[in-house]
Structure 1
Amino acid sequence: MAKTSTTDLQPYADAPPASQRGRLFRIYNHYRVVVSVILVALLFVDPINFDSRFRAMDYYQAGVISYLAINGFLAMVMLAGFQPRSRHITISILMDILILHGLLLTSTGITNGLANLVIVSVAAGNILTPTRIGTFYAALAAICSLSISSWSVMVFGDSADEIVRAGSLGILYFAAAFILQYISRRMLRSEALASSRARSIAELEQINRQIIQRMRTGILVLDRFGHIRLANAAAEELLFGIASEEASHQTSRGRTLPQPLRMGLEAWLKDPSRRTEPFQATPTSPMVQVNFTQLDQDRGDQILVFIDDMSKVTQQAQQMKLASLGRLTAGIAHEIRNPLGAISHASQLMGESPNLDQGDRKMLDIIERHSRRVNGIIENVLDLSRRRAANSDLIDISHWLSAFRDDYLQTQDNDHHQPPHIELRTAANLPQARFDVSQIEQVMVNLCDNGLRYSEQATGERKIVIYAGATADGERAFVDVRDFGPGIAPEHRTSVFEPFFTTDKSGTGLGLYLARELCEANQAHLSLVDDNQPGCCFRITFAHHGRMI
């Protein structure tokens, strides 16, 4: 059995695409309709002279009318939506060559001006199918022309010049075929190269868009009036608390810039060398640093804004500070704990003496309380310096909070006379979060202990509310711990997470700082929510479980 070549299977591999070939064929068929209408109209111009000069006027008239009918029918079919295929185009070109030569035969021969129309048909065939079949069109047209001229010389006694004219036409047929095939192939290759480059550019644009969307650095494109033209997911998350990777460039349009960013933009427009101070877009968002630059240096109507999360830099600085403090504490812990232990032991022995009055016992209580406080400070600093890396797991917030509440209540029942009241509320369809359970539980214990203590001081009841919800984009979960205490004074709200800051004389000032550090280690953010409600509300906002790094 003979093998079939690839060329035979794909005879039109170098042809224009089907849609383009269909449009070209429609144009060519319009041309054929116009030509056939003109030929029919010429029948009524001078029919007497036609009868004297034409060899077979009846056949000529029938051929012209049939040619018009065929072309009109094809035009109506394509107008109805018919999509011509390669075989339809081939049959149409062959039909044109044969019909036109039939008209030449029945009219005045090869000297008739209709021979020029054959050149157009051959040229159209090589444009529509620039392959070997285009050469076949030229060969068929040349054979038909030579056959008609030879028939005229032998039967009608015409001059031999007609054979020369037919040969010249054959040369024109082949020249038109080869030239148009070369031009068409060059155009098709150029178009294919342009399409390939366009696809490459589109792919690179898509890759760049995905890279920009997944960058941890926020990217904003603004006009000179501060209107957002483009924003990536990190910018949405850092400025508005909403991250949408697929449609952030759409959701960001129409948003109002945060007031600190707008003020920084106005200051930069006045003085481009001025550096913007770090700021928080919202009370629950991290500290950010922005930098401005112009996209178009000549026109300057678009501004590129880079937004960097300062929490990482702050975390690294705090870690360096705590590492130094941890080394210092570890070095002197032995020297501090030995005299501290002696002081504590001596106070305990004095407390057993029956000769102490009320004032002495009060002094001993102060000594023991502050000894425990100093020891707690040392333990907390050592814990910070020895903190292990987070071991994150994908957690269902609702189930985890329910289990945490039950475990926490059991410990509180054993430690206090008055049982606490913890109200747990969870929103529907909470997104999952990824974090280290033991570390975030340590944060929750600290927040719940503080909340119960301050609620009892203000209301006499140990009660808090824990609420779990989702951010506005529905992609990240958060947990609020709200107490009913006296709240935090406005001048202290920016300092509550600083190390060794406390408003409680018995506190170490490291609880909330350690809680925020643990949250940052899990790529979560601990913030104090200012919602004009009684008491305090601390919020843990978890990172998107699919975008953690």
Structure 2
Amino acid sequence: MATETSTTTANTISPAVPTTPSGLQQAKLFRIYNHYRLVVSLILVALLFVDPVNFDVQFRMLDYYQAGVSAYLGLNAFIALLLVAGFHPGQRHITLSILLDILIMHGLLLTSTGITNGLANLVIVSVAAGNILTPSRMGTFYAALAAISSLGISGWAVLALGESADDIVRAGSLGILYFAAAFVLQNISRRMMRSEALATSRARSIAELEQINQQIIQRMRTGILVLDCFGQIRLANAAAEELLYGAPKAAAPIHEFTTVLPKPLKQGLEAWLKDPTRRIEPFQPSPTSPLLQANFTQLDQERGDQILVFIEDMSKVTQQAQQMKLASLGRLTAGIAHEIRNPLGAISHAAQLMEEAPNLEPGDRQMLGIIRRHSRRVNGIIENVLDLSRRRAANADLIELEPWLKEFREDFLQTQDQDCTSSNIILKNDSDDLPPARFDKSQIEQVMVNLCDNGLRYSKQQTGERHIELHAGATADGERAYVDVRDFGPGIAPENRNSVFEPFFTTDKSGTGLGLYLARELCEANQAHLSLVDDDQPGCCFRITFAHPGRMI
């Protein structure tokens, strides 16, 4: 797959390979070349102050040569000042400069000692620079112009000055070097530009892929952490911050992060470092957080100095387990309804018939009351199990929480018995801008009814008044809503706080122990989280934290 991708990329780029370097690169190369010309012209001017006799040479036209060298220095100095001032040369400026270089160098050869002068070697540099800056047909023209100029100077020297014909051979050799330099450098330059274009295209593709990956990581419900060998967080995505700390610190997909690890996760990391094959137990960063599962792996297998951590919300796993659980309960309920409810109905009916007996002893009546009471309790357990197994899938809607709570309060109070007309439910709202919540209204209403019934009953036991508070608010990140149901009852003993959501656990002799368990199951089905808030207030406070309305699984 990687080979096919590379081939496709290369094929896509090949027809559009540039014939010249990019504008910025071309300007940079021309600036370097002009520095070279400036240094050469300075050296040539400096040599004018040395007596030519010392070099054992005889200039043909010394005055013209001196004027040419001085003009060449002035031209290069002027161009250097333009470049320093911020002038950006175009293609025509570069072409004109190369042509002038070739012609000026041959003019200096003509006025000095001819083609045998060492300046002829500098023409090769000019031709090479022209083919690097413009690796096209214009580069071949530079070589042709230089070869023709060299042959012209040699031919004029042979015909007009009677010099040796060896100069023509030397000029021909130089011409071959010009064309060889042109062809070689054109080929090298094209390959370099092709490689650069390919590298640029791949860099652009990598940057686009990186942006896509960051967007994917940002929207993932799986939290991702990068830790150093000391357990300090180096990088974290928004999901990790939300799951571990309740609020992402920035909108960037993945960024530097300095908060320390929560204690349960740090303990799991230490255990994993001691035994990498060990899988840590699910944990909760805080009492109101959902149950999380962390998986560790070495990010750099060779050095092993960074650790990649995946934080997964167990809601999805819980939903899958619920599906399997409900399937099993569905098969079990038929047997429960037939094998238990029918005999239970017969027992209850027989107890009623015995109560109608005229000569029933008080002790017998007490025993019959126990039978009726426990029969109702068993029937309540069966009803709860049947409701749990018959539960339909959540049909979530986007709900504005504040008006929904007001409507729920009114409906709930209207359904209370005449003996419960004194029930008092107070609504509180700490946020003027509550985020919407996405849930199934009928299922969350069932949870709220269960919590409110419990709260009113326990408040009555403790204070003599049926009184609870409903408190709506937003999480620290302002993106998720929650509802607190607070009663004023006796509270829950610390040793029982971790067991209140277990099935069949109850401290009420008349309870079934399935109410809170069913409430949490319904919340998990809606990707909400039901938790017991640990605070210093009287009574109990149960919190329903709803999922982010835009990031439902």
**TM norm structure 2:** 0.86
Distance (Å, rounded) in 1 between the aligned partners of 2:145 and 2:402? 82
Could you tell me how far apart the structure 1 residues matched to 2:269 and 2:504 are?
A: 36
SS of residue paired to 2:255: helix
Which of 513, 517, 536 lines up with 1:513 in the alignment? 517
Give, in angstroms, the shift of residue 33 of structure 1.
0.8
Q: Distance in 2 between matches of 1:402 and 1:75?
A: 79
Quote the offset at 1:445 in angstroms: 2.1
Classify the secondary structure of the residue corresponding to 1:15.
coil
Q: Name the residue aligned to 1:222.
A: 227
CA distance in 2 between counterparts of 1:412 and 1:11 reads 78
The reply to whether residue 430 of structure 1 matches residue 434 of structure 2 is: yes
Gaps of 5+ in 2: 1-14
SS in 2 for 1:220: strand
2:81 paired residue number: 76
Would the aligned equivalents of 2:336 and 2:382 in 1 still touch at CA under 8 Å? no
What's the counterpart of residue 300 of structure 1?
Answer: 304
Q: How far, CA to CA, are the matches of 1:512 and 1:95 in structure 2? A: 92
Distance 1:268-1:332 versus aligned 2 partners, 3 A rule: closer
Shift of 1:96: 1.3
CA drift at 1:215: 4.6
Query: 1:463: which partner in 2?
Result: 467
Q: Cα distance 1:102–1:512, how it changes in 2: closer, same or farther (>3 A)?
A: same
Q: After superposition, where does 1:284-433 map in structure 2 within 5 Å?
A: 284-317=288-321, 319-341=323-345, 369-412=373-416, 416-433=420-437
- SS of 1:250's equivalent? strand
Residues 11 and 131, structure 1, Cα contact 8 Å, conserved in 2: no
Distance between the aligned counterparts of 1:11 and 1:359, measured in 2? 103
Stretch of structure 1 that moved more, 93-102 or 23-32 = 93-102
| SS of the residue 2:415 aligns to | helix
- Contact 1:413–1:419 (8 Å) recurs in 2: no
Q: Is the 2:333–2:389 Cα contact (8 Å) retained in structure 1? A: no
CA distance in 2, matches of 1:319, 1:164: 94
Superposition deviation, residue 228 in structure 1 = 2.0
Identity of aligned residues (%): 77
> For the residues of structure 1 that align with 2:523 and 2:17, how far apart are their CA atoms?
65
Match of 2:9 in 1: none
Query: Which string of whole-angstrom CA distances, capped at 9 and with x for unpartnered residues, describes residues 214-254 of structure 1?
Result: 55444433333222233344433433333578546436x32
Partner of 1:6: none
Distance in 2 (CA, whole Å) between partners of 1:188 and 1:132 is 16
CA deviations on 1:401-426 (whole Å, 9 max, x unpaired) are 33333333443486722041322214
Q: Is the 8 Å Cα contact of residues 377 and 508 (structure 1) preserved in structure 2?
A: yes
Letter in 2 for 1:36: S
CA contact (8 A) 1:423 1:464 kept: no
Q: Secondary structure at the match of 1:235?
A: helix
Equivalent positions of 1:108-187 (< 5 A) are 108-187=113-192
Other-structure match for 2:284: 280
Q: Secondary structure at the match of 2:456?
A: helix
| Compared CA separation, residues 265 and 158, structure 1 to 2 (3 A) | same
Which of 251, 256, 261 is the matching residue for 2:260?
256
CA distance in 2, matches of 1:57, 1:462: 118
Partner residue of 2:4? Answer: none
> Aligned equivalents of 1:248 and 1:170: distance in 2?
60
- Kindly tell me: are residues 340 and 192 of structure 1, through their superposed partners in 2, closer, same or farther at Cα, counting changes over 3 Å? same
Structure 2 letter corresponding to 1:333: A
Distance 1:291 1:421 in 2: 44
Distance 1:423 1:397, change over 3 A: closer
In 1, the alpha carbon distance for the partners of 2:250 and 2:503 equals 36
- Residues 513-538 of structure 1, C-alpha deviation per residue, up to 9 Å, x if partnerless? 11111111111111111123222121
Q: Which runs of 5+ in 1 are unaligned?
A: 1-9
Q: Which residue of 1 aligns with 2:537?
A: 533
Q: CA deviation at 1:503?
A: 1.9
1:279 is paired with a residue of what secondary structure?
A: coil
Matched, 1:93 2:110: no
Deviations 1:32-90 (A, max 9, x none): 1111111222222227899x943443333332222222211221221222222222211
Q: Does 1:238 align with 2:238?
A: no
**1:290–1:69 CA distance, 2 compared to 1 (3 A):** same
Determine whether 1:21 maps to 2:35.
no
- The AA in structure 2 aligned to 1:375 is N
Shift of 1:506: 2.5
Deviation for aligned residue 1:204:
4.6
Alignment CA distance shift 1:208-1:392 (3 Å): same
Give the Cα separation in 2 of the matches to 1:400 and 1:101: 93
